[in-house]
A and B are shown apart, each in its own frame.
Chain A
Amino acid sequence: MLGIVQYSGINARVKALLGKTLEEEDYRNLLALDSVQDIFDYLYENTYYHQSLADLAGKEMHRRELERTLKKKFIDDYEIIFHYLSGPAGKFLRGLFDKFKIDDLKMLLRTILIEHDLDYLKENLLYLGVHNGINIDELTAIRDYSDLLSAFKNTIFHDTLERFEDRYQDNKNLFPVEMTLDFQYFLRLKKLADKLNKKDFQIVKDLLGTQVDLLNINWVYRIKRFYDLSSEEILNYTLPFHYRLKEEDLRSLARVDDADEIFDLLSGTTYDKVFTALKRDRSIVFEKYFLSYLLKKARRWVVKGNFNIGTIMGFLFIKEYEIRDIITIVEGVRYSLSADEIHDYIIRYWI
């Protein structure tokens, strides 16, 4: 009953937004293009990005500017959802959005503390300013770690940043901060998800649970293939949540001697599908396989999402990956890859 009240308006809106997302034909057309400018023109003339791109029309196109505009549109979509949805679901989605803020924050840390590339920063910080009371200009004025702490004073990130202040000053290593930000993100999401109603929780659990499982497998696989760490260390680096892949299963993945054994252990599990192709290709860009598995799931929830959070969640995934795919195409074109080569990197094209 409450679901009907809560979701009928926003779901109609989101479905309208979904209806505009790029279609198979658009991707085919985009892949056939061979300059960044052509891609821009195509998006401007043939897709719903028309309005967002209007300001850039007629100018010489820069890759980053395009990227930034696409992401801004995504923020607008998020804002619509925030506007319509309050209560536990609204809070949860705001929590979900933190992911992008954390990406921004990581970029901020790296550029400010290590590379000092202010122009890059000004062009690329987008998400941190959303509902934060944080002023982007203030962020670009940060010079050292203590500035950073005062800029983030009243945010959820402050505790973590503060915790690592001394240690960062000692060893200039950002890895622990970044990892902890991610951990905290998932912990917060878990808490927010617990407050959702039963159906919403189930949907969120299915999508994010799968995501976490895949992230964990990704970690283990990557470490096994490229680094030499003990299984205890590996497990400490994984996220402490488990969905279809049980804790003992992850433990045994972490204990294998050779990366390929992971595939054997996973055969017969839900995630078998994801890895058959990866095993065949031995591709380095394995992230793509995870993402396209998630994309499929997202699409399923869009269909099933009546009067629950499914449509919105599905949309957010689909949209995020659409932007990613467009950027992939742009970068591919920029580095003169052939259409076939780019094709391999696109999330929506499943294995």
Chain B
Amino acid sequence: MTVARMKKFQIVGHKKGLDQISGRIIDSESIQLIDYSEFVKSGQLPDEIESLQRENPFSDLLKKLEDIFCDLDIDCKLEKIPEIKDVKELNLQDIEDETGEIKAKVERIVDFRERVKEEEERIKNLIHHIKLMKNMDIDLDELKKFDHISLIFGRVENDSYERLIKNVTDWPVVILEVHQEEKNVWFFSFTKKENEEMAFKLLNSVYFEKLELPGRVRGQPAEILQRAYHRLERIEIGYDEIDLYLRKYRHLYGEKLIRYYQKIKFLHRMRELNNRFYGESLHLFVLNGWIPLYKEEEFVKKIENEFEDVIYTSREVEFKEEEKPPIVLQNKRFISPFENLVKLYGLPGYGEIDPSPLLAFSYLLMFGMMFGDVGQGLVFSLVGYLISRRYIKLLNREAGLLLGSLGLSSAFFGLLYGSVFGMEDILPALWMRPMDNITRLLGLTIGVGIVLMLIAMILNIINSFRLGDLESGLFSRNGLSGLIFYIIMLVSVYYLLVKGSLLFNVWVTGVLLLIPLVVIYLKTPLTNLLKNKQQIWPEDTGNYLLEEAFEILDTLISFLSNTVSFVRIGAFALNHIGLFMAVFILARMMRGQAGGLLWSSLIIIGGNIIIMALEGLVVGIQVLRLEYFEIFGKFFRGKGEEFKPVKID
């Protein structure tokens, strides 16, 4: 139930085994390393140890290889860790030379492609501008000859153009739109020569881009266009040739380069790990990290078998310690999909109880009770199964499993309620039919709620003691005092309702209820007293007492409201049947009409789908709400940090 116990370990060894150790650590997939700089802060270091900084001669080479891969369109990742001896015998100089040569060859082609591309852009631009001009009925050459009128040709963003037109009203400037595209507007602006400066100022305020009129447009646009298109065709052929070359290179060098890459990438990553995590003295290295207790034995055995001169030490981290290790949740396979719902709220802190099993159990229980239907439940499980097997590419595997198990729970309760696709006359109810036992159902759901709340409070007490939080464990409303208060309250109410009188007389009951409330009221001073602190009362005592008084009021209300909150389980179970009643009534109404059988079947099928989608969603959320607010809120602190094992990439 608790999050996995963690050990903080230290490895000291001879430097020659360093990369092998790193390799094993990555292999194990269950170790998070501690940054050397963090480790230094803890101050437990002998002086002669320093951060290990090895030069990383591989980054340039790696970059080169990646560049080539990018140019040649090769997809490459480091999948498995190469054997150390393969890497040891690497002749770096040879690889560098060879890679350099290949890169030069590839680059020549790529550069050429760039130049071709530039030419292509230029020509396309030219074609574009000439086309713009072609759309106008005005002879451009005439325009350029004006003596008293200044002509500005330019381009501006669409939005800016709108503003320009809207605001230009008062000025002696004429704007003439030539062409409009998705993002830009091309325009001419005319104004008198003496107003030219003013026009520029105005155009500048919308950041226009002045364009020169294409010079040769006067000639014969059609002829220019034809020549340009011809060149574009030639460029296309050029591209094909370039592509051929690149493919040839890929074929010639691809495999070899990938082989180099695997090794270089590994070495590079090793250096990264060295420089970030390792410390060193003259001959030795030192390394710190976290490992879950249950993985330790396997790892240590491997290390000890393989390396003679390596010392592995570790210590288990106690729950109460200041230092908090990262969190690993350790649950049975069928519970793990529910971990995601826990993570949505937060990760448990170290030493806290992992609420996943409780969540899994209570979620399934409540969902089933609220949405009990054999048919729809099985549909859910089927869809969940298909998602988890990736036949349906929706969400992810885990979500599929979640849906699948919820469906099974729903089907189980469907059997108990005797309900198949909302039809209550096919199966016998193994337990009861909700509609015939409304009071019993609602009472029962409150019972479920009470049990869950009691569990939550007990968990809070356990958590608090583990973490050494006396105030929360003993005196808070979710601690022991709250628990006692709640139980006395429950017993009293039970006797009053069932037996018609209180278990004890009014006064005794009153006193019994008052005691835990007073304890809650005085929780801070009581804690201080228990811890032998100098100052018992908080500094601002008046304020504290006032605040706590409200807190007590809030406690009373929230106990009541939390308990009643669970009635919704029963309410939704009824609601489920109610919705079906509506569907069946509609279906029956259609039966008398022409084609009635078809229509009524369609309504029943459609109604089922709608109810599954809508109510399934709503119930799912309602249960989550109950989990988070009524249950988690009582004991779950959710401040843990995620465990991030070292990986190759």
Contact = CB atoms under 8 A, between A and B. Distances in A.
A232 B170 contact: yes
A166 to B, nearest CB: 8
B167 A236 contact: yes
A229 B201 CA distance: 9
Interface in A190-237: 229-233, 235-237
Given A8-B625, A163-B157, A232 B206 contact: no
Contact of B163 (A8, A159, A163, A236): A236
Contacts of A166: 209
A8 B629 CA distance: 11
A239 to B, nearest CB: 10
Where chain B touches its partner, the secondary structure class is helix
A180 interface: yes
Interface in A220-263: 229-233, 235-237, 240
Interface string A141-179: 000000000000000000100011011000000001001
A27 interface: no
B107 interface: no
Given A163-B157, A232-B205, A235-B167, 18 more contacts: A8-B625, A9-B628, A166-B209, A167-B209, A183-B159, A183-B160, A187-B159, A230-B171, A230-B198, A230-B201, A231-B167, A232-B168, A233-B205, A235-B166, A236-B160, A236-B163, A236-B167, A240-B163
B205 A237 contact: yes
A237 B201 CA distance: 12
Q: Which 3 A-B pairs have the closest CB atoms?
A: A236-B205, A176-B207, A235-B167
Contacts of A187: 159
A240 B159 contact: yes
A5 interface: yes
On chain A, which size bracket covers the interface?
20 to 34
Contact of B207 (A179, A230, A231, A240): A179
Nearest to B629: A12
B202 interface: yes
Interface of B: 157, 159-160, 162-164, 166-171, 183, 198, 201-202, 205-207, 209, 621, 625, 628
Given A8-B625, A176-B207, A236 B159 contact: no
A58 B587 CA distance: 75
Nearest to A186: B159
19 contacts: A163-B157, A164-B207, A167-B209, A176-B207, A183-B160, A187-B159, A229-B205, A230-B171, A231-B170, A232-B167, A232-B170, A232-B205, A233-B201, A235-B167, A236-B164, A236-B202, A236-B206, A240-B159, A240-B162
B162 A233 contact: no
Contacts of B202: 230, 232-233, 236
Nearest to B183: A159
B419 to A, nearest CB: 26
Nearest to A180: B207
B572 to A, nearest CB: 15
A218 to B, nearest CB: 17
Interface of A: 5, 8-9, 159, 163-164, 166-167, 176, 179-180, 183, 187, 229-233, 235-237, 240
B575 to A, nearest CB: 15
A296 B444 CA distance: 49
A167 B154 CA distance: 13
Contacts of A183: 159-160
Contacts of A240: 159, 162-163
A179 B206 CA distance: 10
A11 to B, nearest CB: 13
A235 B170 CA distance: 12
A301 B201 CA distance: 42
A235 B202 CA distance: 10
A176 to B, nearest CB: 4
A237 B164 CA distance: 10
Nearest to A235: B167
B157 A232 contact: no
**Which of A166, A180, A233 counts the most chain B CB atoms within 10 A?**
A233
A235 B201 CA distance: 13
A180 B157 CA distance: 10
A32 to B, nearest CB: 18
Nearest to A9: B628
Contacts of B164: 236
Contacts of B167: 231-232, 235-236
Nearest to A176: B207
B323 to A, nearest CB: 13
B351 to A, nearest CB: 19
Nearest to B203: A236
Nearest to A4: B621
Contacts of A8: 625
Contacts of B183: 159
B189 to A, nearest CB: 13
Contacts of B160: 183, 236
A166 B155 CA distance: 13
B615 to A, nearest CB: 13
B171 A232 contact: yes
Contacts of B621: 5
A220 B205 CA distance: 14
**Which of A232, A235, A237 counts the most chain B CB atoms within 10 A?**
A232
A86 to B, nearest CB: 13
A240 B160 CA distance: 9
**Which of B157, B201, B202 counts the most chain A CB atoms within 10 A?**
B157
